[in-house]
Amino acid sequence: MRAAHLSARGFRNLADFELDLPPGGGALLGPNGHGKTNVLEALYYPVLFRSFRGVTDPDVCRWDGPGFQVTVRAEGPSGPTELVASFQRDGRKKRIAVNGVDTPRLTDAVAQWLAVVFLPTDLHLVQGPAAGRRQYLDRVLSLSDVAYLRALLRYRAVVAQRNAALRAGREDMALAFSAGLAEPGAVVVRQRLAWVASAAGQFVAECDALGEPMSVGLEYRGNRDLSDADAWAPALAAAAARERARGMSLVGPQRDDVVLTLEGRPLREVGSTGQQRTAAIALKLCELATIGAAHRTEPALLLDDVFAELDRDRQERLAARLEGPGVRQVFVTAPRRDELPSSLALDRYDVRDGRVSPAGS
pLDDT per position as a tens digit, 269-317: 999 999 999 999 999 999 999 999 999 989 999 999 999 888 899 999 9
Beta strands in 278-317 (DSSP E): 300-304
- For residue 60, which of 9, 96, 4 has the smallest C-alpha distance? 9
pLDDT for 64 equals: 83
Domain range enclosing 258: 121-296
User: What's the pTM?
Assistant: 0.88
**Is residue 276 located within the same domain as residue 334?**
no
41 neighbors 53 (Cβ within 8 angstroms)? yes
> Per the structure, how many domains does the chain have?
2
**Is residue 149 located within the same domain as residue 258?**
yes
**Is residue 18 located within the same domain as residue 58?**
yes
**Is residue 167 located within the same domain as residue 239?**
yes
**Is residue 199 located within the same domain as residue 291?**
yes
pLDDT for 325 equals: 60
- Over residues 164-179, mean pLDDT: 94
Final residue before a domain boundary, out of 261, 296, 331: 296
- For residue 356, which of 68, 45, 19, 4 has the smallest C-alpha distance? 19
Instruction: Give residue 344's pLDDT band: very low, low, confident or very high (50, 70, 90).
Output: confident
**Is residue 234 located within the same domain as residue 321?**
no
- pLDDT higher than threshold 70 for residue 96: yes
Taking residue 46's Cβ as centre, other Cβ atoms within 10 Å add up to: 26
Provide the CATH number for the domain around residue 12.
3.40.50.300
β-pair type (265-266, 257-262)? antiparallel
CA distances from 6 to 72, 197, 296, 299 (A): 5, 37, 23, 16
102 neighbors 83 (Cβ within 8 angstroms)? no
**Is residue 126 located within the same domain as residue 102?**
no
**Is residue 213 located within the same domain as residue 245?**
yes
pLDDT for 338 equals: 87
β-pair type (257-262, 216-221)? antiparallel
**Is residue 164 located within the same domain as residue 276?**
yes
Instruction: Give residue 36's pLDDT band: very low, low, confident or very high (50, 70, 90).
Output: very high
**Is residue 139 located within the same domain as residue 275?**
yes
Q: Please tell me the distance from the alpha carbon of residue 188 to that of residue 140, in angstroms, as a whole number.
A: 12
Final residue before a domain boundary, out of 296, 325, 344: 296
Provide the CATH number for the domain around residue 184.
1.20.1050.90
Print burial letters for 5-32: b (CB count within 10 Å at least 16), e (below 16). ebbbbbbbebeebebebbeebbbbbbee
Final residue before a domain boundary, out of 243, 272, 296: 296
Q: Please tell me the distance from the alpha carbon of residue 275 to that of residue 262, in angstroms, as a whole number.
A: 9
What residue type is assigned to position 50 of the chain? Answer: R
Which residues 6+ apart lie within 8 Å of 285 measured at CB?
202, 206, 321
**Is residue 55 located within the same domain as residue 131?**
no
- For residue 305, which of 326, 331, 273, 285 has the smallest C-alpha distance? 331
